[in-house]
Amino acid sequence: MLYAIDFKLIFPEFLGFFAVSLLTVCPLAFSLITKNMPRSPVVFFGTRALLALIFASLIALILNNIDYHFIVLNFQLVSDEAIVITKILLIVFALGLLLFSVAKDNFEIYVIFLIILLAVLVLIGAFDFLTFYLALELQSFGLYILAASKRDSMLSAEAAIKYFILGALTSFIILFGISIIYGVFGTTNFRDLELIAPYYPSLAFLFGLSCVLIGFFFKLGLAPFHSWLPDVYTGAPRFVVSIFAIIPKFSLFILLLRIMFIILPSYFSFTSTLLLITGVFSVIIGTLGGLNQTAILRLIGFSAIANMGFIVFPVTTGSLFGIQASLSFFIVYVMLNFNLFAFILLFRVRNTFLVNNITDFKYLSTFPQIPALNLLNMFSNAGIPPLAGFFSKFYVVFHLFQMHHFLSAVFLLFTSTLSTFYYLRIIRIFSFEPFYFFDLVNAIKLPFILSLLMFGGMNLFFLAFMNPLFSFTLDLALKLLQLIV
């Protein structure tokens, strides 16, 4: 394995900064030359093409560094195979989300989207609490703006203000925790903390670490720090909701695993206890809160809270296979989210989304192919065999039984059974209730159809993908547990 201390190895991040500048200047320059506003189709499709080129270049540059362990700015940023794989996964997720960007009016959204992606790439490689905090704030600023990007909506403004206020309070708590950690040990660098913290236990350090973990829990949408999530999901544009659901959570979850298992393994009992408490609250609140919801985006918000609680349970066992179970569940969760957002973004009548409440799913019966695909997705979310959602949940519960965490396993079995109610309710609505015909042919877009066919096929034939997925997540879990330096 090669080690390097070289700025050429962080060219992907530099490319991201350059791309943000280019995407900001080019549409404005085009508007000055052509006397058109930067909302023309040329700008829209040109922006998409440029973004696709940027993403392809990022993947190529990151892959070029896969054989290196590198250090930049005195351990402020590091990279290894696990970080490279995680960055590629995030860029692939971002490319998938780009297919769902149906709003032609706001080229600015793509600039903010790229800023968030850039922040996430830096966040994944952060090896110092200050670098982590700066990347987290850059990501948060982009999310604040996106949450308020539906300018003619009171709900969007209300959700954005709530998210901004709570996010600012959380940022203060994180920074306060980092200052306490620095006051105790005189450093915020992960390598130094890895060497010093086990030998000088301190209640002040535990308090500072708790403050930092609260920030993680807030950004992941774990209860009781979840109150922003259903409101933001309801008020923000749907493409923005799909970003909230996937990109920030995956990056923070990977960094949280690194801190718990590599940086501070001697404090694992403390961090895992906090994680278990938030997991229990998340599953209970997410499951019970979703039972009486009728707005589809609010239901997705409570479902996200419950799923994040499900994801963190195997991590608390402290085993390699627990990390594998969590990563497998997370990837299947992302896949199901892509499929679900393809459904709710697919249908529009006169530029108005058709699926706003769960009762609106009856309109999907207009097309005979759609109910079958939606049926697969809902059954998979409910955990019905032999679909992807069943195997991801089964592996989590099986691992908990294997590690003798019987109460946790039984608890997840009970709440998972309870959560099937709101998925089965949607299935009943679009399968048995009468519907009204709408001419939706113009609303169907090729990216959504491709997404439905691809992820619907993965749902149906998941047995064929199961072994490669579990092998990949096991390999990623092993690389995550390897020492960086």
Span 5-38, pLDDT tens digits: 455 556 666 666 666 666 666 655 555 554 454 4
163-201 pLDDT, tens digit each: 899 999 999 999 999 999 999 998 888 888 888 888 888
The one-character DSSP state at 263 is: I
pLDDT for residue 334: 87
What is the reported pLDDT for 483? 55
| Average model confidence (pLDDT) across the chain | 78
pLDDT at 116: 87
**Conformation bin of residue 73: beta by default, left when phi > 0, alpha when psi is -120 to 50:** left
Cα separation, 267 vs 193, in Å, equals 12
DSSP E strand stretches across 344-422: 348-349, 352-353
Least Cα distance to 221 among 174, 274, 282 occurs for 282
Amino acid at 25: V
User: Pick from 2, 1, 4: which is nearest to 70 by CA?
Assistant: 4
Per-residue CA distances from 14 to 8, 11, 195, 198 (Å)? 9, 5, 31, 36
Task: For residues 110 and 119, give the distance between their C-alpha atoms in angstroms, rounded to a whole number.
Answer: 14
pLDDT tens string 89-127: 888 888 777 766 655 456 677 778 888 888 888 898 888
- Per the CB < 8 A criterion, the answer to whether 317 and 269 are in contact is no
Residues of the chain predicted below pLDDT 50: 1-5, 34-35, 37-38, 104, 438-444, 484-485
pTM of the full structure: 0.87
The residue among 320, 480, 324, 319 whose CA lies nearest residue 391 is 324
Torsion sign across C-alpha atoms 170, 171, 176, 180: positive
DSSP state of 186: S
Half-sphere exposure at residue 272, Cβ-oriented, CA atoms within 13 angstroms = 17
The Cα–Cα gap between 366 and 440 comes to: 8
User: CB within 8 A of 344, min separation 6: which ones?
Assistant: 238, 296, 297, 353, 355
* Angle formed at CA 253 by CA 248 and CA 256, multiple of 5 degrees: 125
How many angstroms from the chain centroid is the CA of residue 96?
A: 13
Crossing angle for the helix pair 296-312 and 320-346, to the nearest 10 degrees:
170
How many C-alpha atoms does 363 have within 13 Å on its Cβ side? 20
Q: Are strands 2-4 and 68-72 parallel, antiparallel or unpaired?
A: parallel
Residue with tokens 């608890």: 411
Torsion over CA: 56, 61, 64, 68 (sign): negative
Quote the pLDDT of residue 25: 60
pLDDT of res. 280: 94
The pLDDT, as a whole number, for residue 398 is 92
Q: What are φ and ψ of residue 183, in 5° steps? A: -65, -30
Q: What pLDDT score was predicted for residue 485?
A: 47
Q: What are 97's two structure tokens?
A: 């989300």
- Whether 318 and 276 have beta carbons less than 8 Å apart is answered as no
